[in-house]
Amino acid sequence: MSADMATGAAADRPASHENQPTEQVQTAPLLAAAAGEAPSRPPVWFMRQAGRSLPEYRKLREGMPMLEACFNPEMVCEITLQPVRRHDVDAAILFSDIVVPLVAAGVGVEIVPGTGPVVAEPIRTAEQVAALPTVTAEQLRPIARAIGLLRNELGATPLIGFAGAPFTLASYLIEGGPSRHHERTKALMHSDKPTWHALLDKLAGITREFLRMQVASGVHAVQLFDSWAGALSERDYRELVLPHSTAVLGSLGDAGVPRIHFGVGTSELLPAMWEAGADVVGVDWRVPLDEAVRRLSVAGAERPVVQGNLDPALLLADFSVVEAEVRRIHAEGRAAAGHIFNLGHGVLPETDPDVLTRVVELVHSLEP
């Protein structure tokens, strides 16, 4: 299908229809579990299920930079579909990157192989924050086209959209790239709180626009990744981050799609992340799911729904180890009103795709 045809596919569907799942999708296991209802089978998908672990992905991406691929609707569609075909997962997640809306807006960001996002001019002053551009629907049109293509291909399989949370985006912009200690970020957030809040307010606006575009284009759920929030204390998170994540997730409260909120190393932040407006709380491998449910319940969640949380490193172990862990996590997840099986973070590049397929088969064989 040509890019022009992709444009037509996205444009021809009325906007009022984009959000309405087909009857088959409405009863999909993932959406049932996200709503705290009984699914027909335990749902499972994997963060970074589309990507470097798949030989078909590496072949398709050969010679094409990551961000160029993210703005190519046909390539986004094909890459998103690859793990659905191969693994029979219960959801597709849009192939993209958390810096895509920044790049679309005109911020100078490059994804450097082996490093990650690198920012041409780090943002550390009030003047730079004021000059940070916003993003428009027109700038995001290639991603909307990709979602239109995917809606035509996925049938009964739900499509998950996603975005990076304001704190994680801010860390990349301030540090200039990935950081182990987030020292410049923490220095700014404590020494110049007005500039910090102005930056996160702008980033929350960009993230809202990105997610609302995805919902309007037809995704069935969204996930907000706060990859680096685990570097913060609960006090700092609540004062300096939570209001901005709440602004993002709260803006989707009437969108009619489940909102998943995930971070790495955020065991102590789970109640606060739920308070931001999450329908589903993603849990990494550092805390058992039944303990995560207990913490959420104490915080006031009457029927918590969780996602997770197999350690992705264990996928490289003997399958007997993997099987035991899958069964343990499934059992612990039964403490929740709903459980979506996933990893505690993304699929590692060294992972054997056949192991992922076997995990899906095992999860599907367990009692809902």
* Catalytic annotation, residues: 48, 52, 61, 97, 172
Nearest to 31 by CA among 296, 345, 338: 338
Distance between the two ends of the chain, CA-based, in angstroms?
38
Amino acid making up residue 198: A
The DSSP result for 11-64, as a single string, is HHS-HHHHT---HHHHT-HHHHHHTTPPPSS--B--TT-SSTT-HHHHHHHTT-
Distance of CA 323 to the CA centre of its chain: 25
d(CA 318, CA 324): 10
The β-bridge partners of 341 are: 44, 308
Helix (H) or strand (E) holding 320: helix 319-333
The β-bridge partners of 221 are: 160
